[in-house]
C-alpha cells in the first residue's frame, strides 16, 4: 500500500482563461493506493478544502520552516501573499476548522507565480536543487511550542525571500519573509516593453500589449534572478536585489512572439529550459559564465498610487525598476529551439518539470490536453541533447500544472477544466511512464483521478 498527500491551489472566480471555476480555495488530498491495478480500483481518497481565499492559483511551500505561501490571482485589496503554517493546516483538517493565515501582504494585481530562496546562498530546502522543479524530499516541520503547535515559527537563518510574479501588472516583487508574521516588500520591479516604434515582426499584439511577468527564480549557481516576461519576449536577469541594494538589470531577447512562460534550471548548472506559451516552443539556453558589465537600474517615475505616502497603510515598498529597457546581455545563449506543436490548432504550453532522476523533461500542453516527454541525454553530468520520447493524454482537460513525487514514482497533473488531478505512475530510475523504458505508443492511463475544482497548482506534501 502506498500513501501520499497532495495540496492543490485553484481558481474560485471566473477569469478570461477560467470559464468554469469550481475551486474551493486550497485542498489537501490524502490517498491510499494499492500496489496492483486491481487494488487501484479501490484507492481511498480523502479531500478537504481549507482557508477560503480567492483564486489561490499558486502555492509555494517552505519545507524547512513549515510554511505554505499562497498567491491570489485577483485584483484589489485581496491580491497578495497569504502565509500559513503547515501545522495549522493539518490541525484544521483534523478538527474540521479553518486555519488562520500567519500574515497577508498586499501586492499588485494578478499574481501568478511564487518562488522561494535564501539570499545567503544556502538553499531554504537543501535537497531542492532547482527552484523551478517540483522536488520534495523532506516534509519534516520545525519544532514548535507544545502549548501552541500551530504557532508561527521563529525567524531562523538562512533568511527567506519570496519572488512574486504579477502577470497583470508586469511587476516582480521581492518580499522578505524571514519573519513570516511580518513580511516586508524589499523591491517592486516594473518591467518595461521594448522601445517605442514599429512592433517587431512576429510579436503578438493581442497578448503582448504590455509586460507580463510570469515566472521568476534565483539560479542556484550564480545567485541571479531569471525572470520570464511573456509580454516582451525577454528573460530579465537581475542581481543586487537584497535589502538596501540597487537592482542591476539586464536581459536576453528571445524570438519575437514566443511568449516565455516558465523556466526550469538543469542540475548541470549551465543550461536552462524556457517553455513558451504563445508559440509552442521549448528553448534550451546556455548560461555563459562571463557577463558583460551591467549598470544599475534607474528609479522609475511613480504613479500616484505607488508613492509610499499613498500606500503607507498596507506596508508596501516603494516602487523600483528600470525606467528604460536595461541593457541586453550575452549571458544566455540560445542552444536549441524545439517545436513541440500538437496536431490541434489551439494549444498553450503551461508547465515544465524535470524528473528527480534528471533523465526526463515533462511539458504540459493545454487545450491539446497532453503531456510531452523528452529524454535528457548527458555526458559527464552535463546536458548533451534532448530527444523526444512520446506524448500522452493528460487524463483530463487543460493541464495547467503538474509535479513529480519526491521519489519520482508518480506524476500528478492538475487538469483545470475537467476539475481533476490525474496521477500517473513513472519509473523512478528512468523517468518514463510505467516500470520500463518503453517508448511505444501504447495508451498511458492515470492510476487514479482525484476530484478537485479547477486545479491550478499541485504539490506533493508527503509520500510513504
Q: Which pLDDT value is given to residue 157?
A: 44
Strand runs labelled E in 260-398: 260-265, 271-276, 281-287, 327-328, 332-339, 348-354, 360-366, 370-379, 382-393
Q: Say what the pTM is.
A: 0.85
Ranges assigned E (strand) in 394-445? 399-404, 410-415, 420-425
Task: Report the alpha-carbon distance of residue 69 to residue 64 in Å, rounded.
Answer: 13
pLDDT at position 123 over 50: no
The topology (CATH level 3) of 57-339 is: Methylamine Dehydrogenase; Chain H (2.130.10)
Residue 402 grid coordinates: 503538474
**Tens digits of residue pLDDT in 199-223:** 788 899 899 999 999 999 999 999 9
Report pLDDT for 64: 85
pLDDT at 290: 43
Range in 2-6, 296-300, 342-346, 392-396 the model is least confident about = 296-300
Mean pLDDT of 118-129: 51
What pLDDT was estimated at residue 143?
Answer: 30
| Angstrom distance (rounded) from CA 342 to CA 105 | 40
* pLDDT, average across residues 289-299: 41
Q: Chain-wide mean pLDDT for the chain?
A: 83
What is the average per-residue pLDDT within 307-320?
Answer: 36
Three-class secondary structure of residue 115 per DSSP:
strand
Mean pLDDT highest for which of 71-75, 96-100, 301-305, 439-443?
71-75
Per-residue pLDDT reduced to its tens digit, 39-89: 556 689 999 999 999 999 999 999 888 999 999 999 999 999 999 999 999
pLDDT tens digits, one per residue of 409-444 = 999 999 999 999 999 999 999 999 974 444 455 689
* φ, ψ (nearest 5 deg) of residue 404: -85, 150
Amino acid at each position: 500500500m502506498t500513501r501520499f498527500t497532495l495540496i492543490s491551489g485553484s481558481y474560485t472566480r471566473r477569469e478570461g482563461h477560467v470559464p468554469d471555476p469550481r475551486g474551493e480555495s486550497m485542498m489537501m488530498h490524502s490517498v491510499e493506493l494499492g500496489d496492483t491495478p486491481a487494488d487501484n480500483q479501490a484507492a481511498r481518497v480523502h479531500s478537504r478544502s481549507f482557508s477560503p481565499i480567492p483564486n489561490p492559483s499558486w502555492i509555494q511551500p517552505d519545507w524547512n520552516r513549515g510554511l505554505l505561501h499562497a498567491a491570489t490571482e485577483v485584483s484589489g485589496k485581496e491580491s497578495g501573499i497569504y502565509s500559513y503554517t503547515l501545522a495549522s493546516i493539518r490541525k484544521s483538517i483534523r478538527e474540521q476548522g479553518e486555519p488562520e493565515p500567519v500574515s497577508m501582504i498586499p501586492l499588485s494585481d494578478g499574481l501568478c507565480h511564487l518562488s522561494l530562496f535564501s539570499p545567503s546562498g544556502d538553499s531554504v530546502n537543501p535537497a531542492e536543487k532547482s527552484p523551478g522543479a517540483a522536488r520534495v524530499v523532506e516534509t519534516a516541520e520545525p519544532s514548535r511550542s507544545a502549548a501552541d503547535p500551530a504557532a508561527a515559527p521563529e525567524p531562523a537563518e538562512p533568511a527567506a525571500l519570496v519572488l512574486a510574479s504579477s502577470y497583470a501588472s508586469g511587476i516582480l516583487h521581492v518580499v522578505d519573509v524571514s519573519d513570516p508574521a511580518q513580511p516586508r516588500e524589499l523591491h517592486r520591479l516594473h518591467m518595461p516593453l521594448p522601445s517605442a516604434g514599429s512592433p517587431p515582426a512576429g510579436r503578438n499584439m493581442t497578448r503582448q500589449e504590455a509586460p507580463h511577468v510570469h515566472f521568476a527564480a534565483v539560479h542556484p549557481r550564480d545567485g541571479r534572478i531569471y525572470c520570464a516576461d511573456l509580454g516582451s519576449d525577454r528573460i530579465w536577469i537581475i542581481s543586487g536585489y537584497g535589502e538596501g541594494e540597487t537592482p542591476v538589470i539586464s536581459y536576453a531577447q528571445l524570438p519575437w512572439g514566443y511568449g516565455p512562460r516558465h523556466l526550469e534550471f538543469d542540475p548541470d548548472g549551465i543550461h536552462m529550459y524556457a517553455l513558451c506559451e504563445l508559440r509552442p516552443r521549448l528553448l534550451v539556453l546556455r548560461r555563459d559564465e562571463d557577463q558583460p558589465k551591467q549598470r544599475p537600474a534607474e528609479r522609475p517615475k511613480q504613479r500616484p498610487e505607488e508613492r509610499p505616502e499613498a500606500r503607507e497603510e498596507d506596508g508596501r515598498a516603494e516602487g523600483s525598476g528600470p525606467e528604460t529597457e536595461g541593457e541586453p546581455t550575452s549571458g544566455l545563449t540560445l542552444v536549441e529551439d524545439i517545436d513541440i506543436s500538437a496536431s490541434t490548432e489551439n494549444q498553450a504550453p503551461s508547465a515544465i518539470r524535470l524528473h528527480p532522476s534528471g533523465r526526463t523533461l515533462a511539458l504540459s500542453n493545454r487545450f491539446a490536453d497532453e503531456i510531452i516527454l523528452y529524454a535528457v541525454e548527458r555526458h559527464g553530468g552535463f546536458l548533451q541533447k534532448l530527444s523526444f520520447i512520446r506524448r500522452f493524454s493528460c487524463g483530463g482537460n487543460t493541464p495547467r500544472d503538474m509535479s513529480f513525487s519526491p521519489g519520482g514514482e508518480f506524476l500528478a497533473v492538475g487538469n483545470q477544466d475537467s476539475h481533476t488531478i490525474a496521477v500517473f505512475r513513472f519509473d523512478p530510475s528512468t523517468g518514463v511512464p510505467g516500470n520500463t523504458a518503453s517508448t511505444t505508443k501504447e495508451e498511458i492511463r492515470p492510476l487514479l483521478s482525484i476530484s478537485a475544482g479547477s486545479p491550478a497548482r499541485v504539490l506533493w506534501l508527503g509520500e510513504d
